[in-house]
Structure 1
Amino acid sequence: MYLPRQQISQLYTDLIRTTHPSSSPVLVLTSLTVDSLCATRILTSLLKRDFIPHTIIPVSGYADLQRAGAELVLPLTRQRGGDGGTVACLGLGGTVALEDMLGLSGTTEDGAIQGEAMDEHGVEVWVIDSHRPWNLENVFGTPTIIQQGDDGAEVVRRRVGVHEGKITPGYKSGQGGIIVWDDGDLEAELTSEKEAYFALQNMPEITEDDLALDEGEQDDEDADQEDDEPSSAGQKRKRTSSPDGSDDELDSDEENDRPRRRRRSNSSDSIPIPSSPGGNPLSAQVDIGSTPPPMPSSPPKQRQKSAKQLRKELLKLRRKHEATLDKYYDLGTSSAECVSSMIYSLASELGKEDNELLWLAIVGVSSVASMPSGSAIKLNQIRALLQEEVIRLNPIPEGELQRSQSAEAIIPTTARSPTDNSIRLSPEPRFLLIRHWSLYDSMLHSPYLATRLHVWSDSGKKRMHKLLAKMGVSLNEAGKGYLHMDTELKRTLRKRILKFAEQYNLDGLVPGDNGRNGMEGWGFVRSWGWRGTLSAEDVAIVVGAILEVGTDAHLFPDLKLDSRSSSDPNYNTRVRNLPTPPHSSDDGMGDDAAADVPDYITQRFFRAYDSLAPTKGLSTLQKSISSAQNLYKAILRVGSALISKKQIRHLSAFRMGVVKEGPDVPLFTHPGALVRLAAWVGEAVAVLDSEKGRKVHKRKDDALVLGALDESRSVYVVVGLGGGNGWSATGKIRSKAEIKEREERKKRKAAEKAAQKAERARKKEERRILRRERMEANGLLDSDVEDDDEESEAETESVSSRSSNEDSDDSDDDEETSKKRSRGLNRFGQAFQEVVEETGARMRIDSFEHSVVEVRKEDLAGFLEALARKPVVG
């Protein structure tokens, strides 16, 4: 079943009405992402305000989800002695048959079906997930209840308040089932899939074997008919008795064929041949002497299709609908609206939104925007709505608003007052943790800037130094902490960057002055009084680092690329004890000592959860900033090594790289950290190709597979990115030739504009002289002539300005159109599954991100070889 977006508050309102002190607590199952973590914070805040008990369970993968279903969800069912309850799945469950995964479908542990034992189990599962494609059984599947009628026959009763999977306002909670929360696009995008799903539900099961069986039965019938036929043509036919008692020599085949033969014999006559009055109505007897009475015309009788033909048509129709569903599932994975923004919409519908919940939604959306997933167009729409919410909930004086929108606007680093907890819009540059680093380090470790300046090489670093010099920033000043830089330099930094952005392929480095209300692309900043001021992207990066690499500084020493820490004799021991992604003990992918490893997943999750607390969370965030800095230092080191040493190979279907040496390898055994590294490498490769002028005609050139060796478990963690939801959406990259041509075109336009201005000035002077001579002859004053000339010049300048603006708007529209062109989807999840089926490679797909897989160390070569033959881009 699915809940339409316009009814998003219906289920929560029912929960408030039906909750009482003895009710089971709401079970919140959340994935380990910043977006889901923010959504959990928003939802639990609403539950606390309404005095609804709840329990939070972090879930790392499908194995954990299945275990949570057996241990926590099933005891809530009425069949197990519970009273039902509510389970909220945040950021997980949308792509699998969740009822089977949680054990609510009525199957026992040995696979036997319990029949109607699980009907009306009372457990209502809310699915708020951004992963696509949907599992259509979750979306359109409607629980049916089988009851015994008065006559003992089974009666199927449909769920009240549900129409074709859609929950209507008449729906009553309490019976249980899977309920998907629609993000607003479900009904518009899944029209054909919905039709195919319900058509298959109403069709009987039929296969090719059934048709083969029909043909066998038909052959047997034909043989029997041949045995029953008379041996000679002169043998009398069997006589049959007609309804009026007379015998009829017509057999059934002749009776069926007679109307056809009669129509053929009368094909030249437009008047149908009637039967004689009182005669045999089946005969062709005609009374020649009488005029035939007028008969109403009737359509010719159509021959009915045989059972075999009907089965063939049914099978063909079934195959068509199955192909529609298969095509939907095979498109590839993608991301839709963020989970945190969905839950914030719920709070807004309930009238309970405030600055705290808005900030959590902003952080969740910012975390998705900084990762290579999702639709850029969808994210921009959500960010625009969040900007409006910030302005609505945080009104500021008009004068301050105008100053903040000026070209010399400075990013806020302090609060307005000791009690200022407001959220502000800020022209945030794409520098990494700029408030907590020096300008130089922030630029060096920024994935966007570092990949475009080629900082992995000495020439790239010199290029960055040259950019700073052109901007008028000395290396000494850039090496200071940003908070301690010269105030005048910070005030004009944005204007200086915009001046040289196009020359260095940095068009999106800072937001420009165009767009709606002059604040398009601006970021979000929040203050906690004098205690600190952080941007939403900084918070998202720090919380993500807590989830991915933890905060234990002694486990992650800040090592140089070419040497290990010689002052740390226990380094190797700590590396072997590093926390690894969770894995089940019975899949052959782990070791026996894994049971002795502490539960790092739970520890990291609740530390990240505490960092988002309204009051005490700031101190946790500030203490964890060093973890985020160390992670991005490692990304720069490893990414630079992969690019400079040419370790990225171009296979037939994708690019591929493996990280298996160096002190930073253990950091990237977590899929989240590895995805960040893959995004950095993919961005760098895309920049190199674009600057060389290579025209990418196939989306496979965007695809990248990156693996990292987990030596402690002898497995490779592998991620696949690209194909439309990767780095290609981060901005247009121009080649050197395009940059040169663009500069020459600007010079030509400037020269043409200057020539036009000089021509207008010359004509103006000629008109002024002629008018002066004429007016002097007529005795008029010179001031009148000057006034007319000024008005004419103003009109000319206005027309020129409008023309220039129109040209600029057209150029912007063309670029925006190119950004919005449709792109493919990530098919690595399907390709991984196909490789397992074909090769039997020992691998495990347990992550909710289907483009993440673990492969045994010795099976990696065969895995990559088979994967290279698969289409990985939709």
Structure 2
Amino acid sequence: MYLPRRLIAHLYLQLLRSHHPLSPPVLILVALEPDALCACRILTTLLKRDYIPHKIQPVSGYGDLARAGRELVRPMRTSEGGSGGVVVCLGVGGLVDLGEMLCLTSTSEDGEEVVDDMGGVEVWVIDSRRPWNLVNVFDGQPERQALEEVDGNAISMRRKLRGVDRGCITQAYTSGKGGIIVFDDGDIEEEMTKEREAYFALMEMPQIDDEDADDGLSDGSDSEDDGAPGSDSRKRKHWSSRDEGDEDESDFDAPPRQRRRSDSMSSPVLSSPSNTRRVIGHNSSDSSRSPSPEPDSTPPTIQRQPSPRALRRRLLRLKRKHERVLQEYYSMGTAYSEPISSMLYSLASELGREDNDLLWLAIVGTSSMEVSGRTMSGVGISHSSEAGGSAGWGGARGERIRQVLRDEVHRLNPPDPSETYRDGPGGSSDVIPTTGRSPTDTSIRLSPEPRFLLVRHWSLYESMLHSPYLASRLHVWTENGRKRLHKLLAKMGISLTQCHQTYTHMDMELKRVLRSRLLKYAPMYGLDGLVPPVAPGHSANREGWGFVRCWGWKACLSATDVAVILGAILEVGPSSISSWDADTTYRPRTANGTNHSELSESDPANLHPRFWSAYDALSPTGSESPTLLLEALPLAQHLHRAILRTGTTLLSKYQIRHLRAFRIAVIKDGPDVKLFTNPGALTKLALWVAEAIQVQERDRTEGVKIGKKRAVGTPLVLAGLDEDRGVYVVVGTGGGGGVIDFAALAKKREERQKKKEAKEKKRKEREERRAKRATERSDSDEEGEEEEEEEEEELTESTTSDLDDSDDSETDDDVDASPASLSKNLVRNRFGIAFQEVVQETNARVRIDSFEHCVVEVQKEDLGAFLEALSFRSVVG
């Protein structure tokens, strides 16, 4: 089932009304990522205000999720002696069948899966990953009923749940009976109508077994569907030892598999031959109800009834048509939709509970999408930021969400009228804030943030050097690139002595003119998007501006800074770093003194302490709120120094090879090799390297087009060796260019519209001149010859204008930004699907446990064979 966006507060209000002191606590399963962490903070704040007990359980992967299902969710079921309750999945499980994963199904003695009423357990799924598992979206209902005969000519469908209309929850829905409910951010209602119709058509379709299927299509009419959804591709090969419940982990690219007690979505078959006869008899009776012929008319022709074989073939073609729709949806590749922290803030807003603390959490969660490379085309590089400002993760939709957040900032933090006169070039709005307006100032402000890294907490030079945007465009991994950086600083009039000081200690005049000089000189080096454009006054539409929050004179952090710090805590270790030295590799220790590097990255003993450290650091209130974040700053700086060192080594020593479908690099030695055994840290390094490669390719092919599409970067596969476990952690990132720059497309359309209007005006003027000459035509031969020459010139201009118009219309079709054409224009990350195909067709020992399906673990000895098979796959689409 799915909850439409307009009813986002419906379930929470029902929980609030039905809660009592004996109610079980709400179980919150949270992914180990900044966006989910911020969403968890928002939700727990709401629950605390309403005095609803809750329990938080960090979940690091599918193995952890299955373990939570066995140990925490199953005991909640009424059939297991529990009393039901609510389970909230934040960034967890949107791509798999949660009924199976969380042990909400039971198995009969003959091994067939039987779906009961889910024991009163209601699962709320809030996830930004796409594609959805359609079993969760359109099914997940607690009440089920096998197909039963109502009369001799019909088959009854499952009993409808009150308040649910074809999977969509309505205002009449009453919670408490259990079920799986997906929170829709608008995608399901607006863009998944075709998938919804296909899903329910398969659900309502009579069954047909495989023998009938082979018989019915023996002519080969649908032989191209050999790899269609009928094959069960959900099983994974696992080389590692796992618990019993981990063996059946689902995967997102396979079609939804229903429980066997109801219909199998991947292979809808008739429940019995008798049902087949009933359907055929029903059709036959319908077709025989034609009116009788007149007595004096010619004898009627005998109408031949379709044979059972023909009916089976029709049914099979229809079934495969609907299956093909679902298969196309699953095979598009991964993507990201609205951040779940933004969804939870919408819930708080509907409840009337919004404040600065919750708004700040939503802003940080949204900003973390950019830092981690999560775009509308999956994990990869976003190009929607070339024109300036923040590197947007979601094109026009992402910019709309950021604009809503800016409006909320203005509403909850009205500007000080006394500072209005300072706005403008060189005024206070041009200066990057580094402190609050007063000792008690905790407001959120908009700031013209340059695309530097931790600029307030580093020197200007170090911040620019470690910026992925600037590093890739200046080629800072080369000696000439460092020289270009020095020349840029020299043109701006900033000495190396000044830029090597901590930014807060720089000369005030230099900080005041920094933005204006960047706007002037950055375009000379191809850095047009380094700073946001000028937006004078207190305009609500400061596109590209960032968000900053101050804690008096104690600290001032941007949302991107907080996202970077939280990511470092989750990817490297806890924030207690008293023994850390900047010149050595950081090795955090647990409370009992165990070295974290001795533990597996997938071990909860290693990952869960990181979650709680990040959770504490994100405390929105109290005097300690920024302290833990500031203490973790050296950790974030260490991680990004390691990214720069390792990325420079890979590029400068030409360690990146180009295979058939992607580029490949392997990290198996060096001082930072252990750091990149974490999937999050490895993904950030892959994004840094991929952006550098993409800029190089763009510079070589500037102005070159492939067909009607501009050349995009090559996908990248990066593997990091974990010597302790004898595995390679492998991540695949998209090649860039997948996210459409909607703002640029809108600007181009406006320019074309102006050109068309000007051409139309010229055409009308020509027609008026022709009409005037026709009425004033004289008998002079010279005038006639001049007139003919003018008409020929005008005809040539008119033909050229028509050709230009046709070219413009073709271009408009290419850059169509409507939701219907969005999926066609995006270049999505399909590494997750390619990984699954390689695992199924080879003997490579691969472990797929991360919620990011573009991340896998490959046994050390099998990496070569795995990459060779992967090179023949389509990894973007």
TM-score interval (norm. to shorter): 0.7 to 0.9
Gap change, CA 1:656 and 1:711, over 3 Å in 2: same
**What is the correspondence of 1:769-848 to structure 2 with a 5 Å cutoff?**
822-848=825-851
Q: Any idea what SS the aligned residue of 2:144 has?
A: strand
Once residues 147 and 731 of structure 2 are traced to their aligned partners in structure 1, the CA distance between those partners, rounded to angstroms, is 52
Alpha-carbon distance in structure 1 between the residues aligned to 2:691 and 2:169: 43
Aligned counterpart in structure 1 of residue 665 of structure 2, from 652, 657, 663:
657
**Secondary structure at 2:614 match in 1:** helix
Q: Deviations over 1:46-96 (max 9, x none)?
A: 000000000000000000000100100011111011111000000011110
1:503 Cα deviation after fit: 1.1
Shift of 1:601: 1.0
**In structure 1, what residue type is equivalent to 2:178?**
G
Aligned-pair CA distance for 1:144: 3.0
How much does 1:143 deviate? 3.8
Contact between 2:336 and 2:375, CA under 8 Å: does it hold in 1? yes
Q: Which has the larger radius of gyration?
A: 1
Counterparts in 2 of 1:567-646, with a 5 A limit?
577-582=597-602, 599-613=605-619, 614-615=621-622, 616-646=624-654
Q: Does 1:112 align with 2:111?
A: yes
Distance 2:147 2:846 in 1: 47
2:62 and 2:851 in contact (8 A); partners too: yes
Displacement, 1:398? 4.0
Distance 2:440 2:294 in 1: 101
Which of 398, 410, 427 is 1:379 aligned to? 398
1:182 aligns to what?
184
Change in CA separation of 1:215 and 1:351 when aligned onto 2, cut-off 3 Å:
closer
Q: Distance between the aligned counterparts of 2:46 and 2:213, measured in 1?
A: 57
The answer (yes or no) to whether the contact 2:30–2:56 under 8 Å persists in 1 is yes
Distance 1:299 1:529 in 2: 94
SS at match of 2:730: strand
Residue 93 of structure 1 aligns to a residue in which SS?
coil
Determine the structure 2 residue equivalent to 1:719: 731
- Do the aligned partners of 1:724 and 1:825 also contact (CA within 8 Å) in 2? no
User: Is the CA contact (8 Å cut-off) linking 1:660 and 1:708 kept in structure 2?
Assistant: yes
Q: Which residue is 2:24 aligned to?
A: 24
Q: Which amino acid aligns with 1:383?
A: R
Shift of 1:211: 4.9
Once residues 213 and 148 of structure 2 are traced to their aligned partners in structure 1, the CA distance between those partners, rounded to angstroms, is 35
Quote the Cα distance in structure 1 between the aligned partners of 2:147 and 2:328: 39
- Once the two structures are superposed, residues 600-635 of structure 1 have per-residue CA deviations (whole angstroms, 9 ceiling, x without a partner) of 211100000000112222110010000000000000
| Post-superposition CA distance 1:523-563 (Å, at most 9, x none) | 00001112111111001100110000013547864348xxx
Amino acid at match of 2:58: P
Q: Secondary structure at the match of 2:83?
A: coil
* Cα distance in 2 between the residues matched to 1:555 and 1:867: 42
Q: Which amino acid aligns with 2:870?
A: L
Listed as ranges, the matches of 1:100-139 within 5 Å are 100-107=100-107, 112-113=111-112, 115=114, 118-139=116-137
Larger mean CA deviation between 516-525 and 96-105 belongs to: 516-525
The amino acid that maps onto 1:417 is S
- In 2, Cα distance between the equivalents of 1:478 and 1:199? 65
Measure how far apart 1:837 and its partner are.
0.8
2:340 paired residue number:
339
CA distance in 2, matches of 1:512, 1:668: 36
Letter matched to residue 431 of structure 1: F
Task: State the one-letter code of the partner of 2:512.
Answer: R
1:157 is paired with a residue whose SS is coil
**Contact 1:94 1:129 (C-alpha < 8 Å) held by counterparts:** yes
Distance in 1, matches of 2:420 and 2:304, equals 79
Equivalents in 1 of 2:335, 2:872: separation in Å? 22
> What amino acid is the match of 1:350?
L
Alpha-carbon spacing, 1:401–1:673, altered in 2? closer, same or farther (3 Å): farther
Give the aligned residue type for 2:9: S
**2:372 counterpart SS class:** coil
Residues 493, 106 of structure 1: CA spacing in aligned structure 2 closer, same or farther, 3 A cutoff? Answer: same
Aligned to 1:393: 412
Residues 512-523 of structure 1 correspond to what in structure 2 (within 5 A)? Answer: 512-513=533-534, 517=540, 519-523=542-546
Is it true that 1:425 corresponds to 2:425 in the alignment?
no
Q: Is the CA contact (8 Å cut-off) linking 1:407 and 1:513 kept in structure 2?
A: no
Distance in 2, Cα, partners of 1:111 & 1:626? 58
**Paired residue total:** 697
How far 1:817 sits from its partner (Å)?
6.3
Specify the SS of the correspondent of 1:174. Answer: coil
Cα distance 1:298–1:428, how it changes in 2: closer, same or farther (>3 A)? farther
Alignment of 1:484-503 (within 5 A): 484-503=505-524
Q: Deviations over 1:740-784 (max 9, x none)?
A: xxxxxxxxxxxxxxxxxxxxxxxxxxxxxxxxxxxxxxxxxxxxx
Q: Unaligned regions of 5+ residues in structure 2, if any?
A: 219-283, 285-291, 377-393, 745-807
Post-superposition offset of 1:700: 7.3
In structure 1, the partner of 2:5 is: 5
Secondary structure of the corresponding residue to residue 629 of structure 1: helix
Residue 669 of structure 1: aligned partner: 677
* Aligned: 1:558 with 2:578: no
Structure 1 SS opposite 2:525: coil
CA distance change for structure 1 residues 197 and 156 in 2, over 3 Å: closer, same or farther?
Answer: closer
- Structure 1 contact 334–725 (Cα < 8 Å) conserved: no
Query: In 2, Cα distance between the equivalents of 1:83 and 1:575?
Result: 41
Verify: 1:358 aligned to 2:359, yes or no: yes
* SS at structure 2 position matched to 1:464: helix
For the 8 Å contact 2:691–2:736, the answer to whether it is kept is: no
Residue 537 of structure 1: SS of its match in structure 2?
A: helix
Q: Which residue of 2 aligns with 1:532?
A: 555
Q: Does 1:66 align with 2:66?
A: yes
- The aligned counterpart of 1:750 is none
% identity of equivalent residues: 54
Aligned 1:756-767 pairs, distance under 5 A: none
Contact 1:729–1:819, Cα closer than 8 Å, also in 2: no
**2:693–2:713 Cα contact (<8 Å) kept:** no
Q: State whether residues 694 and 712 of structure 2, in contact with CA within 8 Å, keep that contact through their aligned partners in structure 1.
A: no
Tell me what 2:330 maps to.
329
What is the rounded CA distance, in whole Å, between the counterparts of 1:827 and 1:492 in structure 2? 45
1:462-501 matches, cutoff 5 A: 462-501=483-522
> Which residue matches 1:691?
699
Who is 2:866 aligned against?
863
Q: Within 2, Cα distance between the matches of 1:111 and 1:541?
A: 52
Structure 1 pair 148/512, CA: closer, same or farther in 2 (3 Å)? closer
Structure 1 residues 689-698 or 618-627, which shifts more? 689-698
Cα-to-partner distance string for 1:469-504 (whole Å, 9 max, x where unaligned): 000000001011110111111011000001112111
CA displacement 1:119-166 (0-9 Å, x = unmatched): 251100000000000000000013433499999x99953211101000
Q: Is contact 1:555-1:578 (8 Å) kept?
A: no
On the 8 A contact 1:638/1:664 being kept in 2, the answer is: yes
How far apart, in 2, do the equivalents of 1:851 and 1:4 lie? 29
- 1:233 alignment counterpart: none
Q: What CA distance in whole angstroms lies between the structure 2 residues aligned with 1:436 and 1:730?
A: 33
Deviation at 1:304, TM superposition (A): 2.1
Normalised by the length of structure 2, the TM-score is: 0.75
Checking the alignment, whether the CA contact within 8 Å between 2:106 and 2:113 is kept in structure 1 is: yes
Q: Distance in 1 between matches of 2:506 and 2:344?
A: 40
- Per the TM alignment, residue 405 of structure 1 is displaced from its structure 2 partner at its CA by 5.4
User: Aligned Cα RMSD in Å?
Assistant: 3.3
Which stretch shows the higher mean deviation, 688-697 or 37-46? 688-697
Alignment partner of 1:708 is 2:708? no
Any conservation in 1 of the 2:142–2:179 contact (CA below 8 Å)? yes
**Alignment partners' CA distance in 2, 1:366 and 1:641:** 29
Q: Give 1:373 deviation, angstroms.
A: 1.6
What's the secondary structure of 2:181's corresponding residue? strand
Would the alpha carbon gap of residues 401 and 836 (structure 1) be closer, same or farther in structure 2, given more than 3 Å must change?
farther
Alignment partners' CA distance in 1, 2:299 and 2:407: 68
Secondary structure of the corresponding residue to residue 665 of structure 1: coil
1:544 maps to what in 2?
A: 567
Task: Tell me the SS of whatever aligns to 1:144.
Answer: coil
